[in-house]
Structure 1
Amino acid sequence: MKKILSLITIAILTLSSNLSAQQERFQKTLEDDNSKFTNVGNIAITITNFGVYGHAFSLWPQQPSCEFPIGSGIEHIYDGGLWIGGFKADDSLKTNIRGPFVTTAATDPVDGENGVEFTTAPSSVVRERSSKIESAFFDPAAISHQDFFMEFTDTNRTSSNGELIVAHNPYGVSVRQETYAWDFPFANFFIIFNYWIKNVSNKYLDSVYIGLWTDTVVRNTNVTSPRTGTSFFNKGGNGYNDSLSLGYEFDAAGDVGFTDSYIGIQVLGSDKNYDSTNYTTWQYRSTTDPNLFTPQNDIARYRKLEGYFGGSNRYGYNINPATLKQPSNRSTMVSAGPFDHLAPGDSVNIVFAIVAAKKFGTDLPNLDTEEQKKNLYDNAGWAIRAYNGEDRNGNGILEPEEDLDGDGKITRYILPSPPQNPKVKVVPESRKATIYWDKRAEDSIDPISAKKDFEGYRVYRTNSGFDLTESQDLNKALIKMAEFDSLGNDVGYNTGFSFVEMDEPVVFPNDTTKYYYKYEVNNLLNGWQYLFSVTAFDEGDPENNLGSLESGKLSGINRILPGTPAVEEDDVEVGVYPNPYYGNAYWDGSSERLRKMYFFNLPANCEITIYTLSGDIVDVIEHNSSSNGNDLRWFETFSREGNQIMAGGEHAWDLITRDDQAIATGLYLFTVKNLDSGNIKRGKFLVIK
């Protein structure tokens, strides 16, 4: 029996027979790496080093499987992975041809198989690099703001722990995979999957198809837990757009109104010619329709790669697209091929994209109308544009005027670039936040025009309570407060920067950045969570038919909670709010563990002790000026990144005793001991439930 990735997986296996069966395909050894997920842009997807993406909810809710928008809890993929299939021959003339053979990174489990047929080298991990200079993973060779790259092979018949890979007939390939993610607002909704597949056998690989199989599931996990089993998975509707080579799924009957999004799998292109892109889908068990039967062996899987449903039926040919829009538990296959043959040592490069989008318009959210797919199609168009790079007209021929780097070859993954995001620091105070940012954006050079085209800054914030909505879309939640732009042109409002520019830059402790701009936000609510962002935008590029571009709002977000700063004076009273605490505070979540109240006017280093009226100790809390609530379930739920900043003189408490029990209605006493001076202050608060 293979080792399970985590104890969470074991818990899932005990909770649902349906989830148990699906979970079989994600039993991988502990040497495999599934710890990485994209966290730039607005789509967070787990990437592994064995050809799988998503994690079958084995790491939920600590790590997203495929979440869009980031922080929303709306998941879109259970798991998925690379499929490669074809025939073997002794030479290019197809002598002694045999097959088909299909290697799968993930698929529906069949008769003890788990479908995970790729293996990795010992100590192999998912590696990361970034084109962003300020990133800890900066590498001049990076393609995007967040590259992941890894290698794996199908040549082993046993996994790294020596166990047999059931029903695996190696095709004889090694794979280098790279994924690319950007935080540009026009490119933060897709992830590109770039594969180099090499024939490492001594045979010719013939009639090769390559595809991505994906168990798509669009559900809001804040509304419905994946632990509910079958009823979680059987609500998806499916479709395909041939012109974009895009298969997709939407929520047809699950958390309708709390999802309203699409997930799409798209073929972008290859360095070798192939005949067609193909789409098919099939149902996870429980069907009598032969068009939707799960493939049981390599012959049937190869037919799926070829684009066949049942028999000779294909999408649009004896398959009614309307039937696939009805809710069910289906998976998606998008493939390309056949590639004529790969000689020993030859390689093929093929590129896919996973694209997410919110539904457009006001049609009923369980439908799949052409208007609703506008954002999906636009986003898929941007994925194509990213892949095309210098080949702006997408004809596969590099025209002289397209050769931006002058190397005579098509350079892909060149996107128009807004100015670099400024570095931002937000300092919370009582009912106030002060935003500082630097000037780095003003030196940005556009990669297409080769000009410095910086124009100005925009300042954004969220409203109080945004984090308690069932569907958090930070792009929408961040509201523009102010805009400042350069003087002397016909772009923007020509405000200049005098309102925000300081006479001299400021530097903060343990931070060498020089901050030149300052903007104050008043009348905030203490104890509530706010997000702030500052973006930079350019003046546009009329010569290349590009409007003004803005850097990503989600890059460098500062999450703060206004409150009192640390207080060392002995004559300033400590306190609690809300006081009295009635049942639930407005900021509380939906369960007992998602409550909180605040102690305020605290010293920088102190110990808070809470007592009943009879003198029994309820809880003891250690506070310092960097305390930010990460020990509470509330912040684990509504501040998942854990980087929120408090003002230094407040501490959140979840009304849970040191014996892990919720406190009862009553009057409570507390003391605050200053650990530096030894001074003790006292207070009381009332809880009414």
Structure 2
Amino acid sequence: MKKPLTFLLLFFLVAGAVFAGDKARHEAAQKGKKPGFDKTAVAPPFTQTKFHQVGNLWLAVTNFGMFGNEGNRPSCEFPANSNIDYLFSGAIWIGAIVDRPDGTGVDTLVSHGYDGWQPSWYELFPGFAEADSIVERTTRPNTPNYDSLAVSEQDYVAVYTDTNTAFAWEGHQKPLGLKITQRSYAWSYSYAEDFVIFDFLIENISGLIGPPRTFKKLFMGVYVDGDCGLRSIPNYHADDITGFLRVNSDGDTVNVAWIKDNDGDNGLTPGVTGIRVLFPDPKTISYNWWDPPTDWGPTNPANPFDYSGHPDTDAKKYRIMSNGEIDPDQTQSNPPPGIDPSGMDTRYFLSFGPFDVPPDSTLKLTLAYLGGQPEGENDEFDDLGINARWARDVYDNPPADGIPDFSGPPPPPSPNMEIIPSDKTVTIRWDNSSESTVDKFSRLQDFQGYRIYRSRSGILNEMEKLGEYDQVDGFGYDFGFDALNPITDPANGKVWYTYIDRGLTNGEFLYYAVTAFDSGYAPTGLESLESSPVINLKRVAPSVGPEQEQAMQEVLVVPNPYRLSANYADIGWERGISDTDRRIDFTNLPPRCTIRIYSLAGDLLDTIEHDYPVKSAIRHSESWDLVTRNIQAIASGIYLFTVTSETGTYVGKFAVIY
């Protein structure tokens, strides 16, 4: 999917959902409060978690110095919509040497978002008001978060400090005096879908909490607890491996710390994720890793700053941050007896520096969080290395001049799309809003055509192309748009196109998307660019579609019988292979009804309330995971169900066999 460019390159991924408030973190902050502090006197910090979700790597970001979602979905899901996770949690650490206020010497201090070993050691917090929430901006016109200040399709801007000792854990009583502005940028473009860039502004505000003092020999570090695997696999977190990629397949120095599943779970977890520094080029870079259950990691006996074990004090943390060691790849390490380097619950730490930051000044640091997966003849490390180079070039367009660009050539925007289900048929309609966009780099209106995609899973690299239609202009296939039955809306002049997908199975959930692509730009060697299917991806289930006022019709169960021994994940029907990934669908439902599932003995196993708007694309179908209301997976046998609506009750049965 990646194509070499000789001009401008781009980056990351996106889209987002919001999870505000973070009650658990509020509670953790209160539990770790300073002794004697009255937590009822002041509201807790206004912490938030939001998600980059528009590209092929979904990543959770926060306004308290952490990233990832601590085991919840999505954390770092790659590829998008796959339920394959590569991150439990990560956090930034910032350490420096400062003069003591009384002039008696120096202190070595480290402030961090998360310790990694102690679950309640939090030291970075936003303010207390809603105004301290994460700001979302986008370059997409005519969308709710459009902002002329945005630099990506989804910017998240968070501000937090290390000065709130009242809500930090009780050991954090000597803050450095940091104010951190964190900007994360993401795009959906096909050549920039596998990474997110973080831009940090580290401001010295020590004068607000005491005498102003210079941060000497400051190092920044990123702690990562990976947990790589398909979420449905038991103990998927326990067999990770980590390493350090110095040079990519093209010979570019990339210095990426990475983590992946040790054996790829037999093809279920084939990718790798990692982090690289984009700016500035550090004098010293360190990469260290540990096996937390045994508290062991590789060490260099000749380096007193390189030691194994939990760095439970600021001094120990700083020693690791600044030790300059690049640990051997995990599979090449030599652990003591009883520790298997071929796979463990591994954590790694990438750090870099040093920098001096005087009072009231700001240090800019930029990182990229990357993914890589096998593509064609390239393995996951080839792809990771390519993405690492692209991230650097997007940050500073080649030929590099040291000035951040955060830009690249975009494809046309995705069109507005709607889907209409009917009997064994799905109708896809979209408008011509993509066709009038002017590319700001070529200054040309370079729209070329549309592509229609379908998928059972919704996973980006499992999309099936149903059709491609382009302008008749000597570029591409010259199919034209007549086959799409264009109709002009007299009210606003918009043109609407229609594509009909026939011969489908009623009740089977499917995903559809329509993308727009351009003609590229020959003078710079830029190939045709396409918008991401994720932008307007919609889920639908074809159905006969009884309306609420009609008499109850036959309700179907798909599949019937359900085979416990079948691997439905292979055909995209299910997301995984565990009991909690199982799925049957009740189809041909009224838009509003109640489904009750019973054993043959008449015991109520589960109740599902089905209530969708009349125009919803899935209003006539509902899924069930074959797990009872008592959280028990059902066994083989015959089961009864009822569907009750305003128009009556339907009684049916289905079988579960081995």
Give the TM-score taking structure 2 as reference length.
Answer: 0.79
Instruction: Work out the CA distance in 2 between the residues paired with 1:682 and 1:55.
Output: 42
SS in 1 for 2:506: coil
Matched, 1:47 2:61: yes
1:668 and 1:284 map into 2 onto residues whose CA distance is 49
1:117 equivalenced with 2:132 (yes/no)? no
Deviations 1:95-138 (A, max 9, x none): 9762322222223326xx84422122113322222222243322
- Report the Cα distance in structure 2 between the residues aligned to 1:64 and 1:354, rounded to whole angstroms: 15
Structure 2 CA distance, aligned partners of 1:627 and 1:503? 24
1:237 aligns with 2:251: no
2:348 paired with 1:342: no
1:278-321 superposed Cα distances (whole Å, 9 cap, x missing partner): 43334425237544613343333223222434xxxx457xx998
Once the two structures are superposed, residues 72-99 of structure 1 have per-residue CA deviations (whole angstroms, 9 ceiling, x without a partner) of 12111221111212222499xxx97623
Please say if residues 182 and 201 of structure 2, whose CA atoms lie closer than 8 Å, have aligned partners that are also in contact: yes
Whether 1:499 aligns to 2:483 is yes
- Give runs of aligned pairs for residues 428-447 of structure 1, distance below 5 A: 428-447=421-440
Distance 1:536 1:204, change over 3 A: same
Alpha carbons of structure 1 residues 534 and 681: separation in structure 2 relative to 1, 3 Å: same
Structure 1 counterpart of 2:49, from 4, 10, 35 = 35
Q: Is the 8 A contact 2:195 2:368 kept in 1?
A: yes
Distance 1:347 1:570, change over 3 A: closer
C-alpha separation in 1, matches of 2:135 and 2:285: 30
Q: CA shift at 1:238, angstroms?
A: 1.8
In the alignment, what sits opposite 1:565? 545
Q: Partners in 2 of 1:107 and 1:513 — Cα distance?
A: 58
Within the candidate set 383, 394, 418, 2:400 is matched to 394
Q: Which residue of 1 aligns with 2:374?
A: 359
2:468 counterpart residue number = 483
Tell me whether 1:305 sits opposite 2:290 in the alignment.
no
Mapped to 1, the partners of 2:559 and 2:383 lie a distance apart of 47
User: Could you tell me which residue of structure 1 aligns to residue 32 of structure 2?
Assistant: none
Q: Is the 8 A contact 1:567 1:649 kept in 2?
A: no
Structure 2 CA distance for partners of 1:383 and 1:88, relative to 1, 3 Å: same
RMSD: 3.8
The answer to whether the 8 Å contact 1:530/1:559 transfers is: yes
Structure 1 CA distance, aligned partners of 2:50 and 2:98? Answer: 35
Structure 2 residue 220 is the aligned partner of structure 1 residue 210: yes
What TM-score, normalized to structure 1? Answer: 0.75
Task: Check whether the contact 1:73–1:221 (CA below 8 A) recurs between aligned residues.
Answer: yes
Of 618, 623, 626, the residue aligned with 2:613 is 626
- Displacement, 1:430? 1.4
Deviation, structure 1 residue 566: 2.4
Aligned equivalents of 1:371, 1:607: Cα separation in 2: 48
Structure 2 residue aligned with 1:181? 186
Deviation at 1:476, TM superposition (A): 1.5
AA aligned to 2:160 is: F
Deviation at 1:188, TM superposition (A): 1.5
What amino acid sits opposite 1:434 in the alignment? T
| Alignment partners' CA distance in 2, 1:575 and 1:457 | 36
Corresponding residue of 2:195: 190
Once the two structures are TM-superposed, the CA of residue 375 in structure 1 deviates from its matched residue by: 0.5
Gaps of 5+ in 2: 1-20, 29-42, 207-211, 248-252, 301-306, 335-340
Query: Mean Cα displacement is larger for which, 342-351 or 561-570?
Result: 561-570
Inter-CA distance 283–361: structure 2 relative to 1 (3 Å threshold): farther
Q: Percent identity?
A: 26
State the alpha-carbon separation in 2 of the partners of residues 419 and 38 from structure 1: 20
SS of aligned partner of 1:166: coil
Q: 1:535 to 1:119 in 2, by over 3 A?
A: same
SS in structure 2 at match of 1:244? strand
Residue in structure 2 matching 1:425, options 394, 408, 418: 418
3-state secondary structure, aligned to 1:516: strand
Helix, strand or coil for the counterpart of 2:483? coil
Give, in whole Å, the separation in 2 of the partners of 1:424 and 1:555: 10
3-state DSSP of counterpart to 2:188: coil
Q: What are the superposed Cα offsets for residues 510-545 of structure 1, whole Å, 9 maximum, x if unpaired? A: xx9955111111111111111111111111111222
How far is the alpha carbon of 1:387 from its aligned partner?
0.8
Following superposition, the deviation at residue 686 of structure 1 comes to 5.2
CA distance in 2: counterparts of 1:605 and 1:596, whole angstroms: 19
Corresponding residue for 1:16? none
Distance 1:87 1:456, change over 3 A: same
Which of 322, 326, 330 aligns to 2:346? It is: 330
Aligned to 1:636: none
The change in CA–CA distance for 1:576 and 1:458 in structure 2 (over 3 A counts) is closer
In 1: Cα distance, 2:137 partner to 2:627 partner: 42
Corresponding letter in the other structure for 2:463 = L
Gaps of 5+ in 1: 11-28, 227-231, 363-369, 397-409, 629-643
Per-residue CA deviation, residues 450-474 of structure 1 (Å, 9 max, x unaligned), is 2111111111111xxx43xxxx7x1
Show CA shifts across 1:7-43 (max 9, x none). Answer: 9x99xxxxxxxxxxxxxxxxxx964524312111121
Q: Confirm or deny: 8 A CA contact 2:242 2:330 kept in the other structure.
A: no
Answer yes or no: is the 8 Å Cα contact 1:436–1:515 preserved in 2: no
Aligned pair in 2 of structure 1 residues 506, 382: CA closer, same or farther (>3 Å)? farther
Change in CA separation of 1:682 and 1:531 when aligned onto 2, cut-off 3 Å: closer
> Contact between 2:22 and 2:48, CA under 8 Å: does it hold in 1?
no
Cα 1:506–1:352 shift into 2, 3 Å: farther
Report how many residues are paired.
587
Alignment partners' CA distance in 2, 1:122 and 1:567: 49
Instruction: Quickly say closer, same or farther: Cα 1:546–1:624, change in 2 above 3 A.
Output: same
Alignment of 1:419-568 (within 5 A): 419-462=412-455, 466-467=456-457, 474-489=459-474, 491-505=475-489, 514=494, 516-567=496-547
Matches of 1:479 and 1:583 in 2, distance apart? 26
User: 1:198-217 CA deviation, whole Å, 9 max, x = no partner?
Assistant: 11120112122222222223
Relative contact order higher in (CA < 8 Å, ≥ 6 apart): 2
Q: Is the 8 A contact 1:218 1:261 kept in 2?
A: no
The structure-2 alpha-carbon separation of the partners of 1:486 and 1:660, relative to structure 1 and needing over 3 Å to count, comes to: same
1:143-197, Cα deviation, whole Å (9 max, x unpaired): 21111111111123331xxx65315531221111111111111112111111101
Residue 688 of structure 1 deviates from its aligned partner by: 5.9
* 1:280 aligned counterpart, secondary structure: strand
Q: Distance in 2 between matches of 1:190 and 1:254?
A: 20
